[in-house]
């Protein structure tokens, strides 16, 4: 096991919220009887837990390991059509509620070949139609072993902003922090049909700390 995580314990996306709620709470604490400050102290505590970015030990990796890209609950493990690469694929979907860590980590290492952004609706992210109708950001990654992997950030009912820090042609590593979604959402990962899932529907998973699948051996052309 190794720790490869150069980020603080709180995601930078949360600092404006944390500072705002704490500042308002302190001002109200000073200039009122204190009860007016209570809701803002609660919002401050909620922001601390929502934007937490915990240090995670990465498991030993191989070329065919697929790391978990998000904290949450597995809501789909199924064979579908990858709508971005137009191919049959194994889809693994993870739903994040407002109490889960919302930092997204790269499931495989390789090169980002293409990105897509789609403005869309804001259905409950646990619904199947959210994958194709909600606001989303997709990355096509050519993995180190040659496999094609598509990872998609999907906004949810409350989520109103998807943040992604990698672009086409970026070289990425497995476990790398690549994005964040506010507030409640899902991540879909499309893998080759030869991939073997290591998680089941209903299972709770932790990003960067466990595998969700193993890629199959690529066929030579």
DSSP state of 16: H
Q: Evaluate the CA torsion angle 176, 217, 94, 198 in order and state its sign.
A: negative
CA count, 13 A, side-chain hemisphere, 104: 32
| Cβ-based neighbour number of residue 177 at 10 Å | 18
Instruction: Tokens for 137, please give them.
Output: 């950001």
Whether residue 92 contacts residue 188, with contact meaning beta carbons closer than 8 Å, is answered with yes
Collect all residues with Cβ–Cβ distance below 8 Å to 119 and sequence separation of at least 6: 135
Q: Which residues are catalytic?
A: 185
Instruction: Compute the 3-state secondary structure of the chain and give helix, strand, coil in percent, each to the nearest 5.
Output: 20, 40, 45
Nearest by Cα to 178 from 70, 58, 94, 75: 70
Whether residue 90 contacts residue 213, with contact meaning beta carbons closer than 8 Å, is answered with yes
Collect all residues with Cβ–Cβ distance below 8 Å to 107 and sequence separation of at least 6: 66, 67, 68, 69, 141, 149, 151, 174, 189, 212
């Amino acid at each position: 096991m190794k720790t490869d995580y150069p980020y603080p314990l709180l995601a930078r996306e949360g600092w404006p919220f944390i500072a705002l709620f704490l500042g308002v709470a302190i001002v109200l604490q000073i200039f009122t009887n204190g009860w007016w400050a209570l809701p803002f102290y609660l919002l401050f505590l909620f922001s601390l837990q929502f934007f937490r970015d915990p240090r995670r030990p990465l498991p030993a990796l191989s070329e065919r390991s697929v790391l978990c890209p998000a904290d949450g609950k597995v809501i789909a493990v199924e064979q579908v059509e990858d709508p971005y690469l137009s191919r049959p694929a194994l889809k693994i979907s993870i739903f994040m509620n407002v109490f889960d860590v919302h930092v997204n980590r790269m499931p495989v290492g390789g090169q980002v070949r293409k990105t897509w952004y789609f403005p869309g609706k804001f259905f409950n992210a646990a619904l199947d139609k959210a994958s194709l109708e909600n606001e989303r950001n997709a990355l096509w990654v050519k993995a180190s072993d040659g496999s094609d992997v598509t990872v998609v950030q999907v906004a949810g009912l409350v989520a109103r902003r998807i943040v992604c820090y990698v672009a086409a042609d970026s070289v990425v590593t497995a476990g790398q922090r690549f994005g964040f979604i506010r507030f409640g959402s899902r991540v879909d990962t499309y893998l080759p049909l030869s991939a073997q899932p290591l998680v089941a529907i209903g299972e709770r998973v932790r990003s960067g700390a466990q595998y969700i699948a193993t890629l199959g051996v690529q066929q030579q052309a």
